[in-house]
Chain A
Amino acid sequence: MTLSKHAASLRGISRIALIAGVLITGATTAHAADEPVHTVLNGLIGNYAQAARDSMTNESVKELFDKDGFRDYLDAYPVGELAGGFVWEPGMGATFTGPYSDLEIKAPFTDYLPLKEGPVLNPDKTYRIGFVFHGFNHPWLISLADTAAWEAARHPNIDIEVIDAEFDDNRMGQVIDNWVAQQYDGIVLWPAREAPMGPPVDRAIDAGIPVVSLDRRTSSQKISSEVLGNFYANGLQQGLYLKEISDGGNVIFNRKDLGSTADSIRTGAFLEVIGSEPGYEVTGNYHTKSQRTLAFQATADALQAYDDISVVYNTGGEEAMGSLDAIREANRLNSAPGGGKIIILANDDSKEVLKEVASGNVDMVAPYTPLIGDVGIRAVIQHIGAKEGLNEAPPKLIMTPNLPMITAKPMTIEGVKTVTPDNWLYAYGPAAK
């Protein structure tokens, strides 16, 4: 399915969410401290999206926003309430050792769509679930697989098969088709790209097998459920932080692949927030493909071209680390106009990035947790149960809770209470020394 079709199907949801957000945010100012962070952030998303629709007065920001067509992507991305009225609070979630990474994990959402430990559904039956993703060699993705396998292991009558399709869409499609032929009971997938996974998912659904996607989306209209991340809240918070601590400056962008959901929504949301602030200027705009080396080189070259960079915006953690290394190598950390520090904004709460936040090198990070595989497994189990008449099916769109940004010192920015690295329990990946 094309983006525009997604936009059409989801615009209704988004608009309801935006209206709700605006209404909620009306109360946000007064009651922000009492409201869950998910609600506060959704309200701000609604506010800033509406403001950006009405006008974007910063010409430099608007030019980039319009050129890359962020409006279409943002309108298509669902923003809404959590399933079953779930309210997430910092500190929630189970702690365990990741079966693949061998790292200690505290997963934030293990109480979301909860299932008790022990046999599920019909205890006399063994249910086969296929989990296919890409990238055992990627710290974010191996953590996703860790949480999925952990949830499956809690239920003795769940038999999970985990396959790494190694970023090969065709291979992922073949894996799904193979599970359909073997009449698996449920399938959970992390699709790298939308369009290629639509047909295999449709074939599984047509064969009566529930399918749940994680984080990214497929082009299937029939898919049972989509567990969605919180890209919108990521970019929004990067903008909020920047606006809070600065009045303007020249901004360098280290972005993911053009057209990827992570880039479109995060960068779009960031631009929405700073779009009417007069002081910001888009100086450099690079797509560094989630590669640290490319982000390093782009930043190093940008530092040569411009001696007045104030901000480096990074769509992901790899980009942030690459840009930080380049800035450090050039001895330019404190080279912003007026002798100030170059502000480095990051996404993805890996332990490595958090260490740099604690050290004051990276200024903030908006968490995007990979620890959601368990939610997908529980959702597909509940779909299997609904098919067997044992329980209600979970909703089609399963939002994951918006998470608050992490800053070196605690702050409250437009009602969002930030968390310090020491108090953030959900960082993933190996510990950086």
Chain B
Amino acid sequence: MSVANENLVSRSGGLGKTAGIWHLHSNTINLLALLLLLLIVGRILSPTFLTAENLKIVLLAIVGTSIIAFGMTMVVISGEIDLSVAGIAVLSSIAGAMFLDTGSAFLVISVTLAVGVVLGFLNGILVVGIGIPSLIATLAMLGVARALANITSSGKAFYPDDVAGYLWFGRGDIFNIPVPIVILIVAALLSIILTKFTVFGRKLYATGGNVAAARLSGIRTWRVKITVFTICGLAAAMGGILESARLSYINPAAFPGMELRVLAVTVLGGAALIGGRGTIIGTVLASMIIGVINSLLNQMGISIYVQQVVTAFIILAVVLPGLKNRLVAK
């Protein structure tokens, strides 16, 4: 069993190893069951819901949010939070857009990703180096990043129509599979490997589970946290590229409220805001659940306002039982 699960056990007040493993599994199983149920309901309500074309549209709709949520999940597992993801996505995209005139997709994408990495790293320094609570540090970063995006772009949007290599990330395909979906799968696999099958992953869960104990165990928790903030910055920049390339539109006012949508997916996926708990698989499933719900409600012609209520209730319905169990265990 991993350090993560050991921490989980200690957190859950001596429920024992089986209970800890069961919790993780049960959460994933619950999410999977909910997803299947929604797909069945979708099929009953709409004959075209389970077509390959529609499933492709559902997946394309969740790509940006999912990839950013992978980064957020790691940050949350480490016991922190990152509210700056939308700001980083916007500022890094705008920074890359400054190089659209070169016609070099490589340059535009490199700059975008580099800015995301730098901003994520800065978040880590603010939180770990200076000791600012992550809620405050990343909230400040959100404001600064959005403001800088507006200042550098003079509020103007950019159109990457002439940079085919950039658009490929949003509109291209590999063996008839859309590139964003391929990137989503690759990002999910890499994130799963990183969190579940590496030493870094075990350190991550240990840091989030009990930072003092992790430190006493010789884990350099500051390094773990800076790393996850940096990964989250990279994920935000990647999400920004995919969304902007799909619409061929790099907008300094883009992604309003995305940080909360990403956080909602992360929490629905089973990540605990107190740290030490959460899985990428859970985040993937949660993201798909939200995507399926939105698509289904859109196809039924249900108002976006009702969609927000339904989504909120589903998050509560999934998260509350786990929370209750933890409270009972305490």
B-contacting residues of A (Cβ < 8 Å)? 100-103, 135-139, 142, 258, 283-289, 291-294, 296-298, 300-302, 304-305, 321-322, 325, 329-330, 352, 429-430, 432-433
Query: What are the 9 A-B residue pairs with the smallest beta carbon separation, nearest first?
Result: A301-B298, A305-B299, A137-B150, A137-B155, A137-B253, A304-B54, A136-B155, A142-B155, A137-B252
Q: Are B298 and A325 in contact (CB under 8 A)?
A: no
Chain B 172-207 against A: per-residue CB contact (8 Å), 1 yes, 0 no?
000000000000000000000000000000000000
Q: B247's contact among A135, A142, A292, by CB below 8 Å, is which?
A: A292
Give the complex CA separation of A138 and B252 in angstroms: 8
Distance between A250 CB and nearest chain B CB, rounded to angstroms: 12
What would 13 A/B residue contacts be, using CB atoms closer than 8 Å?
A101-B154, A138-B155, A138-B253, A284-B298, A297-B61, A297-B298, A298-B298, A301-B57, A304-B46, A304-B51, A321-B249, A330-B57, A432-B161
In the complex, how many angstroms separate the beta carbon of A267 from the nearest chain B beta carbon?
Answer: 14
Other A-B pairs, 17, CB within 8 Å; known A139-B156, A430-B156, A432-B159: A100-B155, A138-B155, A138-B253, A139-B157, A142-B154, A285-B303, A293-B247, A294-B304, A297-B295, A298-B304, A301-B294, A301-B298, A304-B46, A325-B248, A330-B57, A352-B159, A433-B161
Please name all residues of chain B whose beta carbon is closer than 8 Å to the beta carbon of A287 when the two chains form the complex.
303-305
Contact with A301, one of B51, B154, B299 (Cβ below 8 angstroms): B299
B53 touches A100 (CB 8 A): no
Q: Is the CB of A288 within 8 A of B155?
A: no
Q: A302-B299, A304-B54, A433-B159 are in contact. Are A286 and B61 (CB under 8 A)?
A: no
Contact across chains for A285 and B154 when beta carbons are under 8 A apart: no
Tell me the bound Cα distance from A322 to B153 in angstroms. 21
Q: Which of A102, A283, A293 contacts B243 (CB 8 A)?
A: A293
Is B131's beta carbon under 8 Å from chain A? no
**Residues on A with beta carbons closer than 8 Å to the beta carbon of B61:** 297, 300
Nearest CB of chain B from residue A295's CB, rounded to whole Å: 10
**A329 vs chain B, min Cβ distance (A):** 7
Distance in Å: Cβ of B145 to nearest Cβ of chain A: 12
Most chain A beta-carbon neighbours within 10 Å: one of B155, B156, B159: B155
Q: Tell me the B63-99 residues at the A interface (CB within 8 Å).
A: none
Beta-carbon contact of B155 and A139 below 8 Å: yes
Kindly identify, within residues 276 to 330 of chain B, every residue whose CB is under 8 Å from any CB belonging to chain A. 294-295, 298-301, 303-305
Q: Which residues of B contact A296 (CB under 8 A)?
A: 246-247
Known A136-B155, A138-B253, A297-B61: A304·B161 in contact at CB below 8 Å: no
Residues of A within 8 A of B48 (CB): 304-305
Cα distance, A330 to B178, chains bound together (Å): 12
Most chain B CB atoms below 10 A, which of A103, A302, A304, A321: A304
> What is the total number of residues of chain B having a CB less than 8 Å from a CB of chain A?
40
Which residues of chain A have C-beta atoms less than 8 A from B162's C-beta?
Answer: 433
Tell me the chain B residues, 233-284 only, with Cβ under 8 Å from chain A.
243, 246-249, 251-254, 256
Chain A nearest CB: distance from B287 CB in Å?
A: 14
The answer to the question of B171 belonging to the interface, with a C-beta cut-off of 8 Å to chain A, is: yes
Q: In the complex, A279 Cα to B162 Cα: how many Å? A: 41
**Smallest Cβ distance from B88 to chain A, in angstroms?**
16
User: Quick check: B57 and A304 within 8 Å, CB to CB?
Assistant: yes
Q: How far is the CB of B163 from chain A (nearest CB, A)?
A: 10
Quick one: which of B139-166 are within 8 Å of A by CB?
Answer: 149-150, 153-159, 161-162
Chain B contacts of A286 at CB under 8 A?
Answer: 298, 301, 303-304
Q: Is the CB of A300 within 8 A of B57?
A: yes
- Give Cα A352–Cα B159 distance, bound, in whole angstroms: 9
CB distance from A238 to the nearest CB of B (A): 21
Across the interface, which residues of A come within 8 angstroms of B305, CB to CB? 258, 287
- Give bound CA distance, A322 to B249, whole Å: 10
CA distance A291 to B304 in the complex (A): 12
A301 to B48, CA, bound (A): 11
Q: Which of A135, A137, A142 has the most CB of B within 10 A?
A: A137
- What is the distance, in angstroms, from B228's C-beta to the closest C-beta of chain A? 27
User: What's the minimum C-beta distance from B30 to chain A, rounded to whole angstroms?
Assistant: 26
A267 and B254 CA atoms in complex are apart in Å by 25
Using Cβ atoms and an 8 Å threshold, which residues of chain B touch A293?
243, 247, 254
Contacts of A325 in B (CB 8 A): 246-248
A105–B256 alpha-carbon span in the complex (Å): 28
Chain A residues in 8 Å Cβ range of B251? 292
* Chain A residues closer than 8 Å to B247, beta-carbon distance: 292-293, 296, 321-322, 325
B327 to chain A, nearest CB (A): 36
User: Residue among B149, B243, B249, B300 with the most chain A CB within 10 A?
Assistant: B249
Known contacts A304-B48, A305-B48, A322-B247: A102-B301 contact under CB 8 Å: no
Query: Pick the contact of B154 from A100, A284, A433 — CB < 8 Å?
Result: A100
Residues of chain B within 8 A (CB-CB) of A288 are 304
Query: Could you tell me the distance in whole angstroms from the C-beta of A188 to the nearest C-beta in chain B?
Result: 19
CB B172 to nearest CB in A, in angstroms, measures 12
Residue of B nearest to A138 (CB): B253
Contact A305 B46 (CB under 8 A): yes
Q: Please give the distance in Å from A255's CB to the nearest CB on chain B.
A: 10
Q: Which residues of B contact A284 (CB under 8 A)?
A: 298, 301
Across the interface, do B295 and A101 meet the contact criterion of CB distance under 8 Å? Answer: no
**Chain B residues within 8 Å of A304, by CB:** 46, 48-49, 51, 53-54, 57, 295, 299
CB distance from B38 to the nearest CB of A (A): 14
Q: What are the residues of chain A within 8 A of B303 when measuring CB–CB?
A: 258, 285-287
Query: A291 — which chain B residues lie within 8 A by C-beta?
Result: 256
Contact B249 A292 (CB under 8 A): yes
- Which chain A residues border B171 with CB–CB below 8 Å? 329
Residues on the B chain within 8 Å of A321, using CB:
247, 249
Residues of A within 8 A of B246 (CB): 296, 325, 329
Please give me the residue from chain B that is nearest to A352 by CB atom. Answer: B159
Q: Please give, as numbers and ranges, the residues of chain A lying within 8 Å of B57 by CB-CB distance.
A: 300-301, 304, 330
Give A304 to B149 CA distance when docked, in angstroms: 35
What residues of B have a CB within 8 angstroms of the CB of A433 in the complex?
159, 161-162
Minimum distance in angstroms from B41 CB to a CB of chain A: 14
Contact A430 B298, CB 8 Å, known A294-B304, A305-B48: no
Q: CA–CA, A138 to B249, complex, Å?
A: 14
Minimum distance in angstroms from A141 CB to a CB of chain B? 8
- Roughly how many angstroms separate A258 CA and B304 CA in the complex, as a whole number? 10
B155 and A101 contact, CB distance less than 8 A: yes
Question: A302 with B298: in contact, given A293-B243, A296-B247 (CB under 8 Å)?
Answer: yes
